[in-house]
Amino acid sequence: MQIGPYALKNNLVLAPMAGVTDRPFRQLCRELGAGMAVSEMVSSNSLLWGSEKTRRRADHAGEDEPRSVQIMGADPRLMAEAARHNAARGAQIIDINMGCPAKKVCNVQAGSALLRDEPLVKAILEAVVAAVEVPVTLKIRTGWDRDNRNGVNVARIAEQCGIQALAVHGRTRADGYSGDAEYDTIKAIKQAVAIPVIANGDITTPEKARAVLERSGADGVMIGRAAQGRPWIFREIEHHLRTGERLPEPGVAEIRDILLGHLRNLYAFYGDYAGVRVARKHIAWYSKGQRDGAAFRARMNQTDSVEEQLAITRAFFDRLAEQEELAA
Ligand SMILES: Cc1cc2nc3c(=O)[nH]c(=O)nc-3n(C[C@H](O)[C@H](O)[C@H](O)COP(=O)(O)O)c2cc1C
């Protein structure tokens, strides 16, 4: 898939997820097969730019290209400023969030709430595209609600404004995360525009990725929640799309090694204090469905020490690996 000057190694994209897609997680997903990883959102409110959180979010040291940074807001002038600010700090693609349904976001008329106001969408997109040299991409939902699925209109506006790729989550803003994502509106969008369209929503397996690509005709797929605790889903999808076969699930020993590496990168990125805390949710995701996982997670939440977190994690997966060997 091509986005502006960037030829991605494949058409698999890690979805931006605030609080999840930090640099360590993006790098891990790229290593395990994602062609691109969109960084979590940066507010267009410049009052926040000096904060530790925003500074960390804009830290791309050592990250694979292209580095895509998402911005969000409802004021064209502030969005243009945010785009310039991030491009100056190394963003190679600016992604605009019009897909987030969070109340906090929609109350200030940003994220997917903007889909209701097509003239404002146009004003924001024009302002951001004019503000930076780098390609600008857009992430939307299929519409405001089921009676107002205006995704095709918004896609046309986006193309006219110079947006270079469009990710579409197959739900409306009103759907939140309930119900199943649908891909027919994504298909209609794909047919309406010539820019790359990336299908998103409920893609949880390689087979589903293939089915969504076939059904929608989209150029690529974007994976969010299914990559939590399973960053290797990208190589599984890549393999399946290439060969039609399913890669075997990673063994427990490999999962252990991936997780331990992930934890070390989290400590290095956040420092020990915050790193241990951020790591807990990832550890919980990796251990979901594993035998005695609940007791392991409870124990994990009681420790604040890097050494202990590493040791408990190693011991848990070592024991699972032994059981796996015995069963083999
Ligand atoms: C924890 C979490 C945080 C998210 N944060 C963002 C965000 O900052 N920007 C955005 O455009 N979408 C955000 N999303 C939406 C995802 O990018 C994606 O569109 C959605 O989860 C559907 O894809 P999935 O079914 O593969 O998870 C978030 C989703 C989750 C679960």
238-263, pLDDT tens digit by residue?
A: 999 999 999 999 999 999 999 999 99
- Identified catalytic residue from 29, 100, 106, 161: 100
CA-CA distances (angstroms) from residue 166 to 33, 76, 111, 135, 281?
Answer: 21, 19, 14, 12, 30
Least confident of 14-28, 79-93, 104-118: 104-118
Residue 310: predicted pLDDT: 98
* Alpha-carbon gap, residue 307 to 262, rounded angstroms: 14
Q: 233: pLDDT confidence band, cut at 50, 70 and 90?
A: very high
Summarised one tens digit per residue, pLDDT across range 112-125 is: 678 889 999 999 99
* Alpha-carbon gap, residue 120 to 112, rounded angstroms: 12
Q: Which amino acid is at 293?
A: G
Ligand 1, atom 2, lies closest to the CA of 17
| Residue 255 tokens, joined | 């999962």
Write out the E strands in the chain.
2-3, 6-7, 12-14, 36-43, 68-72, 93-98, 136-143, 166-172, 197-200, 220-223
Predicted TM-score of the model (pTM): 0.95
- The stretch 264-269 carries a mean pLDDT of 97
Q: 42: pLDDT confidence band, cut at 50, 70 and 90?
A: low
Residue 15 near ligand 1, beta carbon < 6 Å: yes
Residue 309: predicted pLDDT: 98
Q: Does 328 or 209 have the greater pLDDT score?
A: 209
Q: 102: pLDDT confidence band, cut at 50, 70 and 90?
A: low
Strands 166-172 and 12-14: unpaired
CB-neighbour burial class of residue 82 (10 A; exposed 0-12, middle 13-18, buried 19+): buried
pLDDT surpasses 60 at 103: no
Summarised one tens digit per residue, pLDDT across range 124-182 is: 999 999 999 999 999 999 999 999 999 999 999 999 999 999 999 999 988 989 999 99
Q: Does 40 or 222 have the greater pLDDT score?
A: 222
pLDDT surpasses 60 at 108: no
Least confident of 7-16, 60-69, 127-136: 60-69
| Residue 120 tokens, joined | 């404002």
- Active site (annotated) includes residue 100: yes
- The stretch 305-328 carries a mean pLDDT of 93
Ligand 1, atom 30, lies closest to the CA of 17
> How remote is the CA of residue 327 from the centroid of ligand 1, in Å?
37
> How remote is the CA of residue 15 from the centroid of ligand 1, in Å?
6
Residue 106: predicted pLDDT: 46
φ and ψ of 137, to 5 deg = -120, 165
Q: 328: pLDDT confidence band, cut at 50, 70 and 90?
A: confident
pLDDT surpasses 70 at 44: no
Average pLDDT, rounded, for the chain: 92
Residue 99: predicted pLDDT: 79
Residue 223 near ligand 1, beta carbon < 6 Å: yes
φ and ψ of 86, to 5 deg = -75, -35
Residue 139 near ligand 1, beta carbon < 6 Å: yes
| Nearest residue to 155 (alpha-carbon basis) of 173, 144, 145, 141 | 141
End-to-end CA distance of the chain: 40
Ligand 1, atom 23, lies closest to the CA of 201
> How remote is the CA of residue 20 from the centroid of ligand 1, in Å?
9
Conformational region of residue 141, where left means phi above 0, alpha means psi within -120 to 50, and beta covers everything else:
beta
> How remote is the CA of residue 324 from the centroid of ligand 1, in Å?
34
Residue 200 near ligand 1, beta carbon < 6 Å: yes
